Amino acid sequence: MGLGLAGWYWSASLVPSTYSVMDMGHMDYGGGPTHAHGAGRSVAELTGPASGEPDVAVELAARQESVELAGGERIEGYTLNGTSPGPAIEARQGDLVQVTLTNVDVPDGVTLHWHGVDVPNAEDGVAGVTQDAVQPGEDHVYRFLAEDAGTYWYHSHQVSHVQVRGGLFGTLVVRPPRVPDEQDVVAAVHTYDGRRTIGGRTGVSQVDAEAGEPVRVRVVNTDNSPLRAWVSGSPFRVVAVDGTDVTGPAELREEGVVVTAGGRVDLLVTAPARIDTGGGSALVVGPEGSEVPARPAPDRQVDLLEYGSPVALPFDPASADRRFGYEIGRRIGLLDGKPGFWWTVNGRLYPDIPMFHVEEGDVVRMTITNDSGDVHPMHLHGHHAVVLSRDGVPASGSQWWVDSLNVEDGESYEIAFVADNPGIWMDHCHHLDHARDGLIAHLAYAGVTEPFRIGGAAHNEPE
Amino acid sequence: MKQTYRVLAGLIALGVLVQAGSVAYGWFDAISAVDAGTVIDGNYEGNAGHMLHGMIGMMVMPLLGLILLILSFVAAKSIPQARKWAGIVFGLIVLQVALAFAAFSAPIIGALHGINALVLFGAAARAGALTRAAGAGGHGAPAGAVPSQRTGTSATGSSLPA
């Protein structure tokens, strides 16, 4: 009898070998009207512009191989066009971007997710949710308009906890039409096999810049845990967060800045300056040969909740159509038959996770609460959300728009967004090992159907 | 039955030693890696020592404890206090896992995790010794070498805890 119950409990936790994300977990309408689930347009139809000459056309060939980093170290990982990080893609605001991804020999298959870019759903690059994983010898074309200027990155969303860690990523910068006053540098921070790098280079890298000139350093955290960056030799300003400009950014001297996993922060410094990103990695911008002594890592970090000057929001979060709770916890239990101490979403274990349902045009509020004992960088696909409050303290600075939000243990954030991008979207922790262990949820629009499946013939395994 | 009970209790005690060894190796190796330039932060996945410690602690030890507990009900007749000590051992294993998880939020609790390991070792050793008391009647002969029966002397009872 007892054994039977234990067996039932165990088998109830098993995840089927193939399933649709639409069939898992429980429906959450956030207090708004319910609607039919799983009828209407297919995710596969929600593409970017099908016709038109691309302004930026890039071909990326993915391989699983031994990678020689810029500093000469070798690791076993992944490359795009023979390098890791992959090519830095640059576009102008309004450009039609076309990327052809070819999987040369990655046995698990690959995809490309445009992290932070609010692309149409079918271009989002999530295996089993918005496309099938691209198998060896196959290719897949992504086409989207680069509508918003800013700092973004792209990475595989198939077996991502292995592939991103192994280097299957690159940066994407969309520049505004105006001619910038400042020099522009991208600093993609990644830890390969315990070696912290900037642009694939360990230690201190140098970029030439004229003394006294402003330089925009676009710090991209491609790792699993929050990054603490700090500047020596120059005061600085945080001029953009997750691709959105900060209004009225004050000059900072003492503080450091936290860049959550998957997040981006643009720092405006005056050359010569040194930007440290921990683990001995740093970037010096200044005249050739300039040496900027590093100051110790600051104890204080700039609080984006009150940084910059406030501006009215483009929508009214007070008249929200739906309110969702996203409570992250942790408990002992079985995940796919495996005993362990697993993450929970709203008290339940994967695959019993929420499917947040919205209708196009809804104003949505979401409260993310973390009582799990660990920090979680929460990443919502396809949308940018604005932070309303943290632990009940209202945001008082510039509009703080995020696609990746650092939620520390014990913290509670309220965010809001407009549901303006129909599709089925992931809303998950960007510590990709946590996502693999089930710290995910989905956002589903009324009238959208899901043709793709987790598992199945394409062996889709997004996390 | 007594043999099995004793072997299981012994395995649990041995497991505590392996756990102590694996976690110590894990962190000494990590320190050595830091000296060699490895960054250890939220991105660090751990090493073989950490992995072994996690797997044995989360799966092997609770399973051994559970089997010992189930067995103790069968062995209760031939081993006095078998159930009591199996219960204590299993309870300490559960406590040990709970302390580990609590320590991720409050690291100071990790100190209790270390202390409880020693308590568990003692309890498992005590459980294993029950079979000797029951089997050998306190004469110091190898356990299992004599038929398991109470001799009626004071020896059996005298070695039991209060």
Cβ neighbours of residue A405 closer than 8 Å, sequence gap 6 or more? A260, A263, A368, A377, A378, A379, A385, A387, A413, A415
Helix/strand/coil for A325: strand
Burial class for A244, CB neighbours closer than 10 Å (0-12, 13-18, 19+): buried
Q: Is B58 in contact with A375 (Cβ distance < 8 A)?
A: no
Burial B97-123 (b: 16+ CB within 10 A, else e): bebbbbbeeeeeeeebbeebbeebbeb
Strands A113-115 and A74-80, bridge-based pairing: unpaired
Residue in chain A nearest B34 by alpha carbon: A194
Residue in chain A nearest B106 by alpha carbon: A373
Q: Are residues A27 and A150 in the same domain?
A: no
User: pLDDT above 90 covers what percent of chain A?
Assistant: 88
Q: Is A409 in contact with B105 (Cβ distance < 8 A)?
A: yes
Residue in chain B nearest A371 by alpha carbon: B105
- Write out residues 130-159 of B within 8 Å (CB-CB) of A: none
Would an 8 Å CB–CB cutoff place B33 in contact with chain A? yes
Distance CA A306, CA A328 (A): 25
Q: Is residue A298 part of a domain?
A: no
pLDDT digits (tens, 9 = 90+) for A14-61: 888 899 998 888 899 999 998 876 578 999 999 999 999 999 999 999
Range of the domain at A278: 183-286
Span A124-152, average pLDDT: 97
Helix/strand/coil for A391: coil
Q: Are residues A316 and A449 in the same domain?
A: yes
Q: Where a domain ends, among A175, A207, A230?
A: A175
Helix/strand/coil for A157: coil
B97 vs chain A: nearest CA distance in angstroms?
A: 9
Where does residue A147 fall: left (phi above 0), alpha (psi -120 to 50 degrees), or beta otherwise?
alpha
Q: Is B39 in contact with A332 (Cβ distance < 8 A)?
A: no
A319 residue type, one letter: S
Q: Is residue A301 part of a domain?
A: no
Residues of A contacting chain B (CB within 8 angstroms) = 165, 191, 194-196, 202, 223-226, 261, 278-280, 330, 332, 339-341, 373-375, 409, 431, 433
Indicate the number of domains in chain A.
3
Q: Is residue A449 part of a domain?
A: yes
Would an 8 Å CB–CB cutoff place B108 in contact with chain A? no
Q: For an interface test with B, give the residue of A341, A343, A407 to mutate (most B CBs within 10 A).
A: A341
pLDDT averaged over chain A?
Answer: 95
Q: What pLDDT sits at residue B155?
A: 42
* pTM assigned to the model: 0.89
Q: Are residues A69 and A170 in the same domain?
A: yes
Treating both helix axes as pointing N-terminal to C-terminal, what angle do B109-136 and B82-105 enclose, rounded to 10 degrees? Answer: 170
Q: Is B41 in contact with A375 (Cβ distance < 8 A)?
A: no
Q: Where a domain ends, among A286, A303, A328?
A: A286
Cβ neighbours of residue A157 closer than 8 Å, sequence gap 6 or more? A111, A112, A113, A124, A125, A126, A127, A462
Q: In the predicted model, is pLDDT for residue A455 greater than 50?
A: yes
Q: Is residue A26 part of a domain?
A: yes
pLDDT band at A354 (very low <50, low <70, confident <90, very high): very high
Q: In the predicted model, is pLDDT for residue A391 greater than 60?
A: yes
Q: Closest Cα to residue A67, out of A188, A156, A167?
A: A167
Q: Are residues A125 and A202 in the same domain?
A: no
Q: Is A191 in contact with B43 (Cβ distance < 8 A)?
A: yes
Q: Are residues A318 and A411 in the same domain?
A: yes
Q: What pLDDT sits at residue A40?
A: 87
Contact by Cβ (8 Å): A360, A210: no
Can you give the CATH number for the domain in which A231 is found? 2.60.40.420
Burial class for A163, CB neighbours closer than 10 Å (0-12, 13-18, 19+): buried
Contact list in B for residue A224 (CB cut-off 8 A) is 42-43
B26 vs chain A: nearest CA distance in angstroms?
A: 15
Cβ neighbours of residue A81 closer than 8 Å, sequence gap 6 or more? A59, A60, A61, A87
User: pLDDT above 70 covers what percent of chain A?
Assistant: 99
For A195, which of B37, B41, B104 is closest by C-beta distance? B37
pLDDT band at A70 (very low <50, low <70, confident <90, very high): confident
Q: Are residues A429 and A374 in the same domain?
A: yes
Q: Where a domain ends, among A129, A156, A175?
A: A175
* β-strand partners of B140: none
Report how far apart, in Å, the C-alpha atoms of A130 and of each of A139, A190, B46, B112 are: 15, 26, 33, 47
Q: Is residue A270 part of a domain?
A: yes
Kindly tell me the number of DSSP H helices and DSSP E strands found in chain A.
3, 37
Q: Which of A176-185, A286-295, A308-317 has the lowest mean pLDDT?
A: A176-185
Position with higher pLDDT, A33 vs A263: A263
Question: What DSSP designation does A321 have?
Answer: S
Q: Are residues A61 and A35 in the same domain?
A: no
Q: Is B42 in contact with A431 (Cβ distance < 8 A)?
A: yes
Q: What number of C-beta contacts closer than 8 Å exist between A and B?
A: 48
Q: Are residues A212 and A93 in the same domain?
A: no
Q: Are residues A357 and A442 in the same domain?
A: yes
Q: Is A373 in contact with B101 (Cβ distance < 8 A)?
A: yes
Q: Are residues A131 and A211 in the same domain?
A: no
Contact list in B for residue A409 (CB cut-off 8 A) is 105
For B33, which of A191, A194, A341 is closest by C-beta distance? A194
pLDDT digits (tens, 9 = 90+) for A293-347: 999 999 999 999 999 999 999 999 999 999 999 999 999 889 998 888 899 999 9
For A373, which of B42, B43, B105 is closest by C-beta distance? B105
Q: Is residue A48 part of a domain?
A: no
Q: Are residues A131 and A188 in the same domain?
A: no
Q: Is residue A451 part of a domain?
A: yes
Question: What DSSP designation does A179 have?
Answer: P
Q: For an interface test with B, give the residue of A196, A197, A202 to mutate (most B CBs within 10 A).
A: A196
Q: Is residue A50 part of a domain?
A: no
Span B100-105, average pLDDT: 88
Q: Which of A230-234, A328-332, B158-162 has the lowest mean pLDDT?
A: B158-162
Treating both helix axes as pointing N-terminal to C-terminal, what angle do B48-55 and B2-35 enclose, rounded to 10 degrees? Answer: 150
**Among all chains, which residue has been given the structure tokens 């189930």?**
B70
Q: For an interface test with A, give the residue of B38, B39, B53, B59 to mutate (most A CBs within 10 A).
A: B39
Q: For an interface test with A, give the residue of B38, B40, B41 to mutate (most A CBs within 10 A).
A: B41
**Among all chains, which residue has been given the structure tokens 């993915």?**
A62
Q: In the predicted model, is pLDDT for residue A98 greater than 90?
A: yes
Kindly tell me the number of DSSP H helices and DSSP E strands found in chain B.
6, 0
Q: What pLDDT sits at residue A8?
A: 84
Distance CA A190, CA A177 (A): 29
Contact list in B for residue A165 (CB cut-off 8 A) is 43
Contact list in A for residue B33 (CB cut-off 8 A) is 194
Q: Are residues A233 and A160 in the same domain?
A: no
Contact list in B for residue A433 (CB cut-off 8 A) is 45
Distance CA A236, CA A305 (A): 18
